[in-house]
Amino acid sequence: MSQSIVKFENISKKYGSTLAISDVNLEVEAGEFVFLVGPSGAGKSTLLRLVAKEYAPSSGKILVFDKDIADIKSGQLPFYRRKLGFVFQDFKLLDDRTVFENVAIALEVRGHSDVEIVKEVEKILKLFEIWPKRNLFPNQLSGGEAQRTAIARAIIGKPDILLADEPTGDLDPQTSWGVIQLLNEINSWGTTVLMATHNVEIVNTLKRRVISVRDGKIIRDKKEGKYEIH
């Protein structure tokens, strides 16, 4: 029996008077690949940000690794975040750092030695086939290369959960498939992947668990689902 890694219990989230998430109950098992689909403003990104503890829910309880994340003190938050990886639509790479430095920063903040960092970064950049681009800056990369760099940065710390917020949103279909294959491979290593997306083709082809969100509510949750938002 698989273990629950993320659990939402009656979660609601308000931004001022706007209700972004309304009474959501959700359980994700360790090692799952879950698509969050829905129209813009449905609440997909908010769900991911709640897991990251970027926001606190207005009501309800979020359990990650069987612990209520509301109990995580600010001093412990960095250690919690080190168990998560983040990938964004706009990559969020640092413009004044090279590919190598952008990936290395994830290990720098954890206090790894320079020798360890060089070894680990080289390993992952070679695995993701961007080692030849290691000395280039983000504005010298294609969209696919930038997203590969961002994913490398997200997983170099070996997170248990990867949160991907529309990672293919700015990419052409062919490049999007390359990124998805990468995420699929990461999932095969045992990392739980939660991915918010609008990409119908990818969702329908991969046949993974699909959670449809609309107006802050989960309207459908299917194990081998399709892109359905109505």
Partner 1 sequence: MKQFNNLYIYMRVFNYVGKNIRRTPYQALAATMIMFLTFLTLLMFLLVALGSQKILQYFESKPQVIAFFKDNTTQQDVDLIENSLNQTGKVKSLRYISKEEAFQIYKDLNSAQPEMYEVVTSNMLPSSLEVSTNTLTDLNYINDVLSKEPAVRSVGFPKDVVQNVLESTSLVRWVGGIIVGFLIVFSVLIILMIIGFKIRIKRNEIEIMRLLGASTWFVRAPFIWEGITYATVGAATAWIGSYIVIWYFTPFLQPKLSEIPGILPVSPLIMLQLLLVVLTSAMIIGFIGSFSAVRRYLK
- For partner 1, the closer CB: 92 or 226: 92
Least distance from partner 1 to the Cβ atom of residue 112, Å: 7
Least distance from partner 1 to the Cβ atom of residue 119, Å: 14
- For partner 1, the closer CB: 81 or 214: 81
- Dist CA 211 CA 215 (whole Å): 13
Minimal CA–CA distance to 4: which of 30, 25, 35, 34?
30
CB 68 within 8 A of CB 9: no
Least distance from partner 1 to the Cβ atom of residue 81, Å: 4
Residues engaged in binding partner 1 (CB under 8 A) = 52, 54, 74-75, 78-82, 86, 92, 94, 96, 105-106, 108-114, 153, 157
CB 162 within 8 A of CB 30: no
E-state strands within the chain: 4-15, 18-29, 33-37, 59-64, 67-68, 84-88, 161-165, 192-197, 209-214, 217-222
- Dist CA 223 CA 228 (whole Å): 13
Least distance from partner 1 to the Cβ atom of residue 77, Å: 8
- For partner 1, the closer CB: 11 or 106: 106
Q: What are residue 21's DSSP bridge partners?
A: 13
- For partner 1, the closer CB: 146 or 206: 146
Minimal CA–CA distance to 23: which of 219, 223, 225?
219
CB 130 within 8 A of CB 149: yes
- For partner 1, the closer CB: 34 or 48: 48
